[in-house]
Structures are given as structure tokens and as C-alpha cells.
Structure 1
């Protein structure tokens, strides 16, 4: 894209807004090189990286990078077989350190789905060995003693010699204090010297290094320390030589990894720039727009990034719309709106967030051309019109259907009639070539052009005639009015003069009234839209509040359910404990009387808690009582779901019932009557169970065929116990004929059981010797 548009729309100032947010020199270098892209995929990749960074900040709001320096020149020196100095090694060391921090951060990343940044994190390589070697380079800019044994040895010798020098000089300070002009040591030419009075200079043997400006003091290096200082100087040279060797060795270690280290530095800088973009978006309420490949532009509350407190406007530039013509007076904000359109696209195509609301769309242009501002050239002897026209000619040559063209005051600087005609001809040529164009003008003729020409739309900037100030509100679809007569009237110009001016002008008053009506409708529509947005925000707030309350209610409900579960478990545990005690007492008694069994069953039934109706907070009532039972009624034994017939009522209120081949003694609440109810359908029997019982009822028949001996005996014992507990008077046991082992075992068991009244084989039509019918006492 041409550099001229970047200067006209002040894209450099946008870059300067991001510069304080970048912490690495690599990131700043990339920021300075950032420019609009024309490949849709590259722009989308930049937007995806920005979305990833926003997602990263949701879970890690304090994500940051360590500051690093530029290492490009150092890497090139290494590639040329040169050795790095301490400063360059420190820069490389910092890059390796930050690389390790980012790699560790990515390894511990949780609950974040990245679309683009994951590939960058994965390409970072760490070098623990190199980091360990570079630890010898101190951040203060010197080589540590532990860099090598030789360096440590040399420095210890230097310390010893310097200590001896200081000791000798301290002794001389004491013994020759009367010959010295000061009691402190001085330093000249890197040597420690004594400040000797000039009158005693011949009394102190040594080398004179300096004389004070007054000549009263001579700085002498005593002969006693000259040899020691020479040794120190020699050791310093050895130290420099050893440091140079260490730097050479470190450079040798780094040289095979030039490419990877350089790539790490680039990744760090790129992540830093993406982070800066996200911080910019947060600071300026910017968003990542959608990309359109059909030149479909939609800006929602778009703002110019370089203006303090800018007015937000909506701008729709659909794919079928080719030209927007803005008319109206000066100082209304037309040029700013023009620049906002261009600069917003430059930012978006550079991968930057734009100052607009979510839902905004931008197009991708190969070129953006603009003719904005006064281009009068004194050096070239060009008038304003000539200068503008020269620029417009160049634009017309190079613009195509993938370009965006911006004209400010098109056709200005010449005869109004000719200028208007020329402006319409230029716009119509661009329209026919399918080039998106936005232009501002004062010419009223272009209003009619915007209304009558397809693919062209009028627009204007709102002007408040009450305050005589522009509102900087963009009104799309409404041509602008000059408002000159109204402004003059409010400023106090005589009405007779204003009326005379109206008589002189040929302005169509009907058109102005239509425009005024359109302006009012546009303002009213904007107010309604603002109200809708306010209501939408209130709804969003209310939705968040309701969501919060809903979550709290769910948590409270869950807490209550958990509490109820705990209480229910306690009840179940208590019931199980008591039932175990009841059963234990039953087993401990040698013989069980019928009334004892009945009493134990009633105790077990009492363990079941009452069911509470939570909606009414009361105990549910039992089912309605049925009519009185009588002999001959058909019944359903609720304990095990068998049909039967009542055959007799005993004196104690219990009933005898015939259930299949078994005669049973039942209490009234242990069976339900089967009665017929009439409905619209033919009469049919419907079963009504009076009482529900939990679990499976007792069985009246036990089938032992195919069982092993031990298994059959265990099931037989449990079956007889259940039959006795349920007051069953008769049961049958199917054991089959087979080898007779199970049949004999059943017979022996029944003989030993004191609760068995009698038993015998079933009739031939009911199983014969393969089935034993048992009657209880």
C-alpha cells in the first residue's frame, strides 16, 4: 500500500499509541514495521492471535513478558565468527531467560483454547546448558569469579597484592604523617599514592605521578609499593586475557544455535506486540472486527483514535453502494468522518483492533487513496485547484475495483458550476468502474446527483441550529443544508435582509423542507436507536442479575437437597439398625407364637417415616377407605400381587382366602378388593390397591430344580421364614424327581421344622411327587 496514505491519515500517530505498551526491543522494532496487509488470511491470523490473547487474559489477567534487548546485530556477529562482548551476552542471556519463562507458562496453561498463539508457544526452544553457562555473566556487566578456575585464582592474587599495597601505604601514613599534606591516600594514573608536602619530596623515595595546582603537594608512589603495583598490573592483564578467553568460549557455545535463539527473540517480540494490541483494545474500548471479502463495510459507533472524546457514529457502506457524497457547511466534521473511514481500515488491515462496537465489519482494499487538505504549492506555482487536480489525476490512473478513494472538497477552488460538474463526472466514472468512493463537497448540485443516481447515497453532518454548533453526528441518507439564513437570523441580521437574500437565491425551498424533514426523522431514529441500546444494556444488566439469582437459588436448592439426603440417610440407618434388633430378637426366641410374629411385623412397619407433602407442609393422608369386604369378593393380595377369593371371616376380624391352591389368613389391610366401575366404555374390571408396600412380596411357590444341595437348602430355609412372617397358611415347593436328593432333603427339613403342620406330595395334575405342598400351624 502506498506510503502517502499513511502520512495523510497519520498512521504513525496510531503506532505511537501502542509504543508505551511494548516492553521488548524486538516488539518495538516489529511495531515500527507494522503496515496494512492485503492478504485476507494474514489479517485473519492477526485477528485470531488478538482473540487468543484476550482469552489468555481472561484466565491469566496478569500475563506479562520480561523486557529484552535487540540481539539481531549480536547474532550476525556470531555468524561472522566474531566473539560477543559482555553487553551482547547479557542480551542473549535475557532472551534465553524469557524463553524459559514463556515455555514454562505454556506448559502449565489450563482451561484456555488457543487458535494461533499455541503454534508460537510450541516453537519456543529452551537451552538449560547455555543458560547455565551464561550465569557467569553478571547482570551488573562483569564476569563472575566462578567463570573459570584460572580467573578465580588470578583475582585472589590481585586481592592479596592490593591488600599488601594498602597495608604498606597505611604504615607510611602513620610513620610519615608530618611529611604529608593529608592523612588520606590518593589515586593517580590508577596507582595509590601519598600526598607529600613539596618541602619533603626528597625525603620520600618513590615515583612522582602528579603535582597539585598550587605546587605545595607532590603525589608520590613509594618505592616500597612500586614492585607490588607492577605485579597487580601484570595480574590485571592476565585477568583481561582470561575474560577474553571466557567470552570466546561462550560465543563458541552459542554459535550453533544462532537461528533458534534468533527465532525465540522474534517470538518474544511478536507475543509482546500482540499483548500490546490487547492492552490498547482494553484502554480504548476497541474490538476485533469481522472481515468481509465483498467490500461490505459496517461500522457501529466508530470513533477516530487520535481525537479526544470523539463522537461515535454508525456508517454503513454496503457491497452494492459505490459512492457516498457528504454535503453541508464547514467545521461540521465531514473531513474527520472521511479520515475515520480510511484510518479505521488502515488499522484493521494492519491487524490492529478498531475503535468501534462489536458486530462491525471491514473490507480489505489493495490500495487506499486520499486527496485531503490544502495542497497549494508555491514552489511549483500551482494553485489549490491545480494541486488537487494533479493529485486526483494520479488517483484516477491507479485506482481499481479493489481500492478505496477518499475526496475532501472535490472540485473546490474553481468556478462553482464547473467545479460541481467536474465533481459529478469524476464520481460517476469511479462508480461505473466499481470503485468505492467517499467524497465531501459544498456543491448543492451533488445532492440531486446522490438522490437520482443508483449506487450513490447522500450523507451529511448534523448541525444544531439552536446552539449554532455542529453535533458531529453523521447522518447517512440525508443531504446537508447550509443553514446560512437561519444562522444569520439567530445572529441578529435584519429579517428584511434575510428575505432579500432568499429572493436573490434560486434555492428550491421545497427541497430544503424535504431535507429538514429527513434530518428530523434521522435525529428521531437515532434517539430511538439510542433508547433501544440503553434498554438493551439494562436488559443485559437485568439478565446478569437474574442469572446470579438463579445460580444462588440453584445452590440453595442443592444445599437443601443435600441436607434432606443426609437426614434421609440418617432415617434409613436408624431403621436398619432397629430392624436388625427386631430380627435378632426373633431369631433368639426358641419358638415363635403367631401373635409374636404379628407384633414384630407391626414394629417393622412403624420404622417407615411418614411422607410429607412439601407443597402443603403436611402428612399425606391414606387412601380413601373402601366398602366393607364380604365373603365371595375377589381380592388382590398386596404382599405378592396374587388374585384370590374371600371364603370366610374369623372371629378376630381376619379373613380366610383361597389363592390358587393355597389357603391364606389375611388381615383387612393386607388385601384390596377388585371392583368393577362403569364408564363410557364397556364394563371392565379395574384393580384398586388400597395399600402400597415397598419391595417384593413373599412368594407362594419355591422352585429348587437345578439347584445344588447347599444352595437349595439355604433358599428353602429363607423361603419358609418369609412365609411364616407373612402369615401364609400354605406354600408349595417344587423340587422335581431327578435322583431324589433334593426331595429327600426337603422332606427331612420339613419334619424338623416345628411350625409345619403337615406336608405331602401334590396331586398328579399339580406336579405329583415332584412338588411338595406344605401347611403351617
Structure 2
């Protein structure tokens, strides 16, 4: 898009407002490159990222961005093998730490999904390794003593020698007070010295490094510390060389990862700009518009971002698909130019991925070019008049315009003879209409009012004026041309009635009728506007209510999921306890040599009691109806199929099973474990089924798990082991097949933890090999 429109519409000043919310130098650099594009998919992605970012911040708080330095020059110097200071490495470390914190923030974000933004977040490169290397640089930018063993030894030696020097000098200070002009240790030529009186310089033997201007004081390094200071100086040289070596090694280690660091810094800039957009959106009460398929524009309560929010007037502007041209007519000082700029700025901001200052529901088009001729274009340098300058600009626009262009003209045709200017303006608008360019033009020529009424695809508009307050309202009124208020204003200002009467008489009948018609249209438009405003208020309230309900529903779903997870965990704990207790019950049964029927029934009852009462099925109406059809009720005599014994129903438990009394024993049974005894014929059928079940319930010494799913196989194995124990089987075979090994591994794991298994091993090759396991039970 042409750069001139960015200057005319002051796009850089808008970006400066967004820049106030930036935190990093990387964000500053990225914002500089921000500008309008024409790729609809790219713009939509920017908007989706902004919306997702807003949801993340609302649920998880602000992104932990902080001030960072620009690494461009530092990274380039590493590539050139130039020397870097420890402070420059500290700047790299700070950026890499911010990368880690930013990645962690998005990874740990809860209660929100962000599929579009994730495409950007996933591009971050893990920099943990580099951060580990840079731990030798502290937050102040100094190299840590522990960066190397040699550096640690040198610095410890320097500290010890410094302490020895201070101790010796302190002793000399205490003994030679009368020979000194000052009782402090000072520094001359990087050496610690004492200020000795000139007449006592021989009393403190040493090296003279300086003398006062008056000659009364000599700065002497006592001989006792000269060698120590020489050692310190030597160690400092070695320390400097060691620091340089370590920093070179760091640069060499970082060099292969330069592109990864650049990638991360670019991404930090993207996130920072996104954060700044969101903060601007909240501060300016901006919204994300939808994108039109056919250049249609719908702006609700649009405002110009560079006008003080306390005084700016919002306007609706509707530029639908069938409309090519809007002509705003009427006198000057009514806000026509600001309306032009507001439309242009909204389009520039939206096509740059920025939220616009308009209400929810607004829509923008996608234009490859936006042209404008606004303001005083007089060129002193080229000795061109205002009209000539405007026409030069308009000619350039007309040579470039096409059906994907948006054109903004302010006071089209002004600066020349009114008749010729109006004719020229109409011809230009016709040319743009033939190109199907979207055009918004302002003019004060009355001839264009008729053009707006008579021409297809053209609509009149005007800026409302408050006659009672004698001031413009700056509100756009579409569908109604502007009318001159000169006579009415003159009357209110006290102009002689005779003059006004003569002026009205000079108006043609058509001109009078047009003014009356416009006044009527304005009144109807005012009524319609009030109705629309009421509808908009209701719509806004409904939108807010919808947002609140959506947020509450999402919160409810999250809370429900938390409770379900909690219940699942509790259920797992109960199952673990139940399995343990079941093992104990079966072990006790196994230890008895002879099992009586009532003991088996009692054991089964104990197992049944382990199951928790989760759902009160006794209150289920459908279940009650099904049970009523079978005639099940307390007191009914039933036959327990598993043991071929009679009993009586006692009551229906909450878990849907019946308590059955069999002699002295009471147990819980599901409906498929017993049958009601209703007649002799039915009794005979029940006995037959019971006998068949007893015959078929003989436990085999082999279980085949092939072809079963994991969970089903695990349950079958658990049930089979219980049956084998009850049947006093000593050795069993589990056929699990080879396959992927999942079922085989499950069997091995189960047998390993089971207290009832004495030993287990794969079957011989002729009996299945590793596809079957032979188990010896205790």
C-alpha cells in the first residue's frame, strides 16, 4: 500500500499510542514494521490471535514481559568472532530467561484453548542449554568467581593479598600517626599508599608515587607491601586473561545457536506487540471487526483514535456491497473531514491487525490501495495554486485506482468556479463509479445533492447541525443531503426581517421545496436514529448477558470436570481397597479344606459389600417399571441360580441389587442371579436352568484372552483367578498370544503382584511357548 496514505492519515501517531504498552526492544522493532496488508487470511489470523490472547490473559493474568535490550548488534559481533563484555552476555541471558518464562506461561495456561496462537508459540526454541551456560554471568553482568577453577583461585588469592596489604598498612598507620598528614589509606597510580609529611618521608621507607601540590605531603607505598601489591597486580592480569578466555568460550558455545536466538527474539517481539494491541484495545475500548467478502463496510459508533476520547463524536457509517459512492454535502466546519479520516484510519488499522475504535459487530473491507486527497495541498515550492495541487494529486489517483481501491476526497472540485467545479466533481465521481471503487467524498456544491439522488449506486449524506445551540453536532446522517442553514442562522443572529424576506423571495420554488424535503427527511431520520439507538442498547445488553452466561457455563463445566476427576480418584482408591480386601477374603476361603455352601454365600456377600453405593437406582422410575413387570417386590420367593437354593427378597438396595434372605444368610444379588418362583411349571424351568448353569459353571484349567481388549482381558483374568481359587485348582494356563505383547505384559504384571500366585512361567514350545503362561496357585 502507498506510503502517502500512511502520512495523510497519521498512522505513525496511532502506532505511537500502541507503543506505550510495549515492554521489550524486540517489540519496538516489530511495531516499526507493522503496516496494512491485503492478505485476508493473514489479517484474520492476527485477529484470531488477538482474541485468543485476550482470553488467556483474562483467565491466567498478564504475560510476564519485561524490559530487554536489542541483541541485533551483539549477535552479529558473535558471528564476526568479536570480543563481548560480560554485560553484553547478561543482556543475552535476560532475553533467553524471558523466552523461557513466556513459553512456560503459555504451557501452563488453564481454562482456555488457543489453536491459532499456538502456531506461533510452538515456534519457540528451547534455550535451556544456553541458559545453563550463562549461569556464570550474574544479574549485574559480572562473571561469577566459580566460572572456572582458575578464576576462583586467582580471585581468592587477590582477596587474601588485599586483606594482607590492608592489615600491614593499618599497622603502619597506628604506629606512625605523627609522620602522617592523613590517617587513611589512599590510592595513587592504582597502588595503596599513605599520606606522609615531607619532613618525615624517611621514617616510612617505601616507593613515592605522588606528591601534593604544596609539596608538604608525599604519597608513599611502604616497602613491606610492595611485593604483595606486585603479586596482586600480576594476579589481576592473569584474572583479566582468564575472564577473556571464558567469555570467548561462551561466545563460541553460543555461536551455533545464533539463528535459534534470533528466532526467539523475533517471537518475543511478536508476543510483546500482541500484548500491546490487547492493552490498547482495553484502554481505548476498541473491538476486533469482522472481514467483509465484498468490500462492504459497517462501522458502529466509529471514533477517530487521535481525538480526545472526552470530546470525540462517534458515528455509524454503512457502505454496503451495492453502494459505490457516498457524497457528504453541506457547509464546512461540520466534521466532514474527520468522518473521511475516521473511515480511512479504521481501514488502515484493521488491515494492520489492530483493533478499531468502533462497537462490536463492525465490519471492514479489504482494499489493495487507499487513496486520499485531504487538506490544503497548495505547493509553494512548485508555484501551484490550491486547485492545481489538488488536481495533480487527483490525476495521480485516477491513474492508479481500480475496483479494489478505497478513495477519500475532501471538498472535491473546490478552489475554482462553482459551476465548473461541480461539473468536474460529478465527472470524477462517475469515473470512479465506473471503476467500481469505493468512494467517500465531501463537497459543498448543491449540484451534487441531485447527483446523489438521481445516480444509481450513489448515496447522499450530511452532517447534522443544531439550530437551537447554533453549533454542529458532528454526527453523520446517511440518506439525507445537507441543507444550507444560512437564512435561519441569520434570523437568529438578528438580521433585519426585510432582508430575510427578500432573500427568501430570491430562492426558486425548487430550492425552497428541496429545503422543505430535506428538513422532513432529517426529522424522519432523527426518529429512526433514536429507534436504532434503543435497539443497539438492547443488543449490547444481550451481548453482555450472553458473555456472562457463556463464562458462567464454562466455569460450571470446569468445576464439574474437577468434581468428576475427584470422584474418579476416590473411586480408584475404593477399588484398590476393595481388591485388597477381596484378596484377603479369598485367601481365608482357600485356607479352609472344606467349604460349606453357606460359607461361600457369606463370602460372596462380603465381596458384594465392597462395592460403593454410587448411584441411587432405587429412585429410577424406568427401572422400577421394569422390575414391576417381573413382579419383584419384598417377600417374593426366588431361586438363586448360582447355588440352586431358595430365598426371599428383602428390599431393593440403592445400587439396584436385591437383598436376598436364604436361611440365616443374607446377601446382595443382581436380577440376573435369581428368578421369581411363580408356578410349578416355572419352578421346573428354573431348576432346569439352574442345573445347566451348575454344569456349565465348572471352572476349566485354561483361560483364553486372545482377541480381547486390554480392560476386558484384565477383568476376565481377575474373575478367572477368583473362580480357580474357589474351585481349588492348583495349576492353570493363561493363553494370551504373542501379538504386540500388551496383553502378555498385563498378565505378567497381574501375576507378579497377586498374593495367590506361587509361581508362573511361559508354556513349553509344544504347548504355546511365550504365547501362554502356566500359573501355579498357592
Calculate the TM-score normalised by the size of structure 1: 0.71
Do structure 1's residue 98 and structure 2's residue 98 form an aligned pair?
yes
Identify the residue that residue 79 of structure 1 maps to in structure 2: 79
Report the CA distance shift for 1:542/1:264 in structure 2 as closer, same or farther (over 3 A). closer
Identify the residue that residue 192 of structure 1 maps to in structure 2: 192
Displacement of 1:717 in angstroms is 10
Identify the residue that residue 26 of structure 1 maps to in structure 2: 26
User: What is the alpha-carbon distance in structure 2 between the residues aligned to residue 200 and residue 497 of structure 1?
Assistant: 111
Q: Is the 8 A contact 1:102 1:121 kept in 2?
A: no
Do structure 1's residue 529 and structure 2's residue 532 form an aligned pair?
yes
Identify the residue that residue 158 of structure 2 maps to in structure 1: 158
Q: Deviations over 1:140-165 (max 9, x none)?
A: 12100000000011111111221122
Identify the residue that residue 315 of structure 1 maps to in structure 2: 317
Report the CA distance shift for 1:694/1:547 in structure 2 as closer, same or farther (over 3 A). farther
Displacement of 1:733 in angstroms is 5.8
User: What is the alpha-carbon distance in structure 1 between the residues aligned to residue 454 and residue 628 of structure 2?
Assistant: 92
User: What is the alpha-carbon distance in structure 2 between the residues aligned to residue 439 and residue 717 of structure 1?
Assistant: 94
Displacement of 1:299 in angstroms is 0.8
Displacement of 1:65 in angstroms is 2.3
Displacement of 1:547 in angstroms is 10
Task: Report 1:123-162 matches (<5 A).
Answer: 123-162=123-162
Q: Is the 8 A contact 2:374 2:409 kept in 1?
A: yes
User: What is the alpha-carbon distance in structure 1 between the residues aligned to residue 474 and residue 634 of structure 2?
Assistant: 80
Identify the residue that residue 177 of structure 2 maps to in structure 1: 177
Report the CA distance shift for 1:732/1:428 in structure 2 as closer, same or farther (over 3 A). closer
Task: Report 1:551-590 matches (<5 A).
Answer: none
Do structure 1's residue 381 and structure 2's residue 383 form an aligned pair?
yes
Identify the residue that residue 359 of structure 1 maps to in structure 2: 361
> Among 411, 415, 419, which residue is 1:417 paired with?
419
User: What is the alpha-carbon distance in structure 1 between the residues aligned to residue 678 and residue 432 of structure 2?
Assistant: 104
Identify the residue that residue 451 of structure 1 maps to in structure 2: 453
Report the CA distance shift for 1:454/1:695 in structure 2 as closer, same or farther (over 3 A). farther
Secondary structure of 1:112's match? coil
Q: Is the 8 A contact 1:639 1:696 kept in 2?
A: no
Identify the residue that residue 397 of structure 1 maps to in structure 2: 399
Bigger share in helix: 2
Report the CA distance shift for 1:463/1:216 in structure 2 as closer, same or farther (over 3 A). farther
Report the CA distance shift for 1:213/1:450 in structure 2 as closer, same or farther (over 3 A). farther
Task: Report 1:229-308 matches (<5 A).
Answer: 229-308=229-308
Q: Deviations over 1:397-455 (max 9, x none)?
A: 11211111111111111111111111111111111111111111111111111111111
Secondary structure of 2:136's match? coil
Secondary structure of 2:82's match? coil
User: What is the alpha-carbon distance in structure 2 between the residues aligned to residue 337 and residue 10 of structure 1?
Assistant: 15
Q: Structure 1 regions of 5+ residues with no counterpart?
A: 556-610, 613-637, 642-691, 743-777
Secondary structure of 1:454's match? coil
Displacement of 1:29 in angstroms is 0.5
Secondary structure of 1:185's match? strand
Identify the residue that residue 512 of structure 2 maps to in structure 1: 509
Q: Cα RMSD between the aligned structures? A: 3.6
Secondary structure of 2:477's match? strand
Displacement of 1:345 in angstroms is 0.6
Secondary structure of 2:495's match? coil
Identify the residue that residue 622 of structure 1 maps to in structure 2: none
Identify the residue that residue 592 of structure 2 maps to in structure 1: none
Report the CA distance shift for 1:542/1:365 in structure 2 as closer, same or farther (over 3 A). closer
Displacement of 1:237 in angstroms is 1.2
Larger displacement relative to structure 2 (82-91 or 258-267): 82-91
Secondary structure of 1:182's match? strand
Displacement of 1:15 in angstroms is 0.6
Secondary structure of 2:219's match? strand
Do structure 1's residue 475 and structure 2's residue 477 form an aligned pair?
yes
User: What is the alpha-carbon distance in structure 2 between the residues aligned to residue 442 and residue 733 of structure 1?
Assistant: 106
Secondary structure of 2:267's match? helix
Identify the residue that residue 522 of structure 2 maps to in structure 1: 519
Secondary structure of 1:183's match? strand
Q: Deviations over 1:249-303 (max 9, x none)?
A: 1111111111112111111111111111111111111111111231111111111
Report the CA distance shift for 1:716/1:453 in structure 2 as closer, same or farther (over 3 A). closer
Larger radius of gyration: 1
Secondary structure of 1:123's match? coil
Q: Is the 8 A contact 1:96 1:126 kept in 2?
A: no
Q: Is the 8 A contact 2:414 2:421 kept in 1?
A: yes
Q: Structure 2 regions of 5+ residues with no counterpart?
A: 560-617, 620-626, 650-659, 664-675, 693-778
Larger displacement relative to structure 2 (127-136 or 220-229): 220-229
User: What is the alpha-carbon distance in structure 2 between the residues aligned to residue 33 and residue 195 of structure 1?
Assistant: 61
Displacement of 1:224 in angstroms is 3.0
Displacement of 1:465 in angstroms is 0.7
Identify the residue that residue 371 of structure 1 maps to in structure 2: 373
Identify the residue that residue 685 of structure 1 maps to in structure 2: none
Q: Is the 8 A contact 1:347 1:354 kept in 2?
A: yes
Secondary structure of 2:408's match? strand
User: What is the alpha-carbon distance in structure 2 between the residues aligned to residue 639 and residue 385 of structure 1?
Assistant: 97
Q: Deviations over 1:225-260 (max 9, x none)?
A: 333222222211111100110001111111111111
Report the CA distance shift for 1:358/1:546 in structure 2 as closer, same or farther (over 3 A). closer
Identify the residue that residue 168 of structure 2 maps to in structure 1: 168
Q: Is the 8 A contact 2:407 2:438 kept in 1?
A: yes
User: What is the alpha-carbon distance in structure 1 between the residues aligned to residue 487 and residue 198 of structure 2?
Assistant: 97
Secondary structure of 1:124's match? coil
Report the CA distance shift for 1:414/1:265 in structure 2 as closer, same or farther (over 3 A). same
User: What is the alpha-carbon distance in structure 1 between the residues aligned to residue 246 and residue 209 of structure 2?
Assistant: 34
Report the CA distance shift for 1:86/1:439 in structure 2 as closer, same or farther (over 3 A). same
Q: Is the 8 A contact 1:335 1:408 kept in 2?
A: yes
User: What is the alpha-carbon distance in structure 2 between the residues aligned to residue 140 and residue 737 of structure 1?
Assistant: 91
Secondary structure of 2:523's match? helix
- Number of aligned residue pairs: give it: 599
User: What is the alpha-carbon distance in structure 1 between the residues aligned to residue 226 and residue 175 of structure 2?
Assistant: 18
Q: Is the 8 A contact 1:375 1:388 kept in 2?
A: yes
Report the CA distance shift for 1:143/1:423 in structure 2 as closer, same or farther (over 3 A). same
Identify the residue that residue 577 of structure 1 maps to in structure 2: none
Q: Deviations over 1:745-769 (max 9, x none)?
A: xxxxxxxxxxxxxxxxxxxxxxxxx
Report the CA distance shift for 1:69/1:541 in structure 2 as closer, same or farther (over 3 A). closer
User: What is the alpha-carbon distance in structure 2 between the residues aligned to residue 200 and residue 306 of structure 1?
Assistant: 77
Report the CA distance shift for 1:505/1:129 in structure 2 as closer, same or farther (over 3 A). same
Q: Deviations over 1:710-747 (max 9, x none)?
A: 944x249999999xxx9999999649999xx99xxxxx
User: What is the alpha-carbon distance in structure 2 between the residues aligned to residue 43 and residue 291 of structure 1?
Assistant: 9
Identify the residue that residue 586 of structure 2 maps to in structure 1: none
Displacement of 1:640 in angstroms is 10
Q: Is the 8 A contact 2:90 2:140 kept in 1?
A: no
Q: Is the 8 A contact 2:637 2:677 kept in 1?
A: no
Report the CA distance shift for 1:553/1:413 in structure 2 as closer, same or farther (over 3 A). closer
Displacement of 1:88 in angstroms is 2.4
User: What is the alpha-carbon distance in structure 2 between the residues aligned to residue 541 and residue 367 of structure 1?
Assistant: 36
Displacement of 1:532 in angstroms is 2.1
Displacement of 1:348 in angstroms is 0.5
User: What is the alpha-carbon distance in structure 2 between the residues aligned to residue 320 and residue 541 of structure 1?
Assistant: 32
User: What is the alpha-carbon distance in structure 1 between the residues aligned to residue 133 and residue 495 of structure 2?
Assistant: 86
Q: Is the 8 A contact 1:25 1:69 kept in 2?
A: yes
Q: Deviations over 1:471-514 (max 9, x none)?
A: 11111111112311111222222222223333345570110111
Q: Is the 8 A contact 1:639 1:698 kept in 2?
A: no
Q: Deviations over 1:575-611 (max 9, x none)?
A: xxxxxxxxxxxxxxxxxxxxxxxxxxxxxxxxxxxx9
Displacement of 1:67 in angstroms is 3.2
Task: Report 1:625-640 matches (<5 A).
Answer: none
Calculate the TM-score normalised by the size of structure 2: 0.71
Secondary structure of 1:135's match? helix
Task: Report 1:208-219 matches (<5 A).
Answer: 208-219=208-219
Secondary structure of 1:353's match? coil
User: What is the alpha-carbon distance in structure 2 between the residues aligned to residue 227 and residue 295 of structure 1?
Assistant: 85
Secondary structure of 2:440's match? strand
